[in-house]
Structure 1
């Protein structure tokens, strides 16, 4: 098998990186946070600084998506009471005294920043790209260069075999794919026992990280199917 140079962006858990590495690929992860598994195959930094380094496949697993998602579009017309996590420290400190118009300006700026990151990754000089994100609202779509509709949406339970396992949960995951095939489910579950723990996660400092954590069965399918597809074409 041809080994690929794979960059797993916006991931600090190492779940997807390890899935590709287990199949013999030269896999690296990148995030602004250090790797939870303390791997020396993790780069702390901005993915945009790495996109020209000759990768064969880019998988962007958890890009900052709150401002792009349908679930957050309401904040573009009526700002939240509390400052968003992505706001600067200065903005957070002043939030309670800011006018509605000032708060809305911050929300629209954060939308622009999120759309720009998605655009740069989607249009990266890499032949095979996958970007995971929730369903987007119209304001996000028009800001993304070369926007295309997502290729497919999957559920983690479609890639699980154990009712008590980490994959047997409900979380619609949309995948934008360029140069890669749609994933085929590999699990035996039918969704009837899938847990709703992600959407029901209790508020707290770890809620955002818990809600973005990836799933081993889905990661294994990505590594096997996308890695195998790319390796076959590179060897041909």
Structure 2
């Protein structure tokens, strides 16, 4: 990525305007201490006593109260209307991992648009966290050490195939695809190893394993999808 607005060597917490529980936000910030707000979510951050290091969006929801608190050089307006504020943020953050809080639990169309942006920018590791779930787009190759019996669901956003170890029901030999085959409520039986043929497989885990997933996704040397511009 050239000319990123936010460039951090540590994971970044990105706040949205959906449901933001203080306890969830605190967990995210412990792992990802630099905070970015998507447009009007700057008010959400300030409400929780957090001043974001950057605000990115079309600024249709950024009021004078936010501008009075946050330095002008930390306000980054992107006025085009062909993408969501989440998309604008994700494509302008360079970091090992983006932890998104406040992008689930609200409007369904907004949540689906978030998944669309994660697929569109599959080379930017991103994990969405809320009170119940941790959701991310599977990289080409992933190893996770999770407690036995943990829920492990997969949901394809496009036709693809996968291979797995450490799941009660292996993913091998299955043609996944929207309207065809999904993988809800699988179960961890050991160290999970998964390979995916193409970007587009959402992995949905219980929120209690967030830290383990975040460490694996943001680890130095973690395998990533190539940039679409590469």
Both structures adopt the same fold (TM-score exceeding 0.5): no
Greater share of residues in helix: 1
What TM-score, normalized by structure 2, do the two folds share?
A: 0.37
Structure (1 or 2) with the larger CA radius of gyration: 1
What TM-score, normalized by structure 1, do the two folds share?
A: 0.37
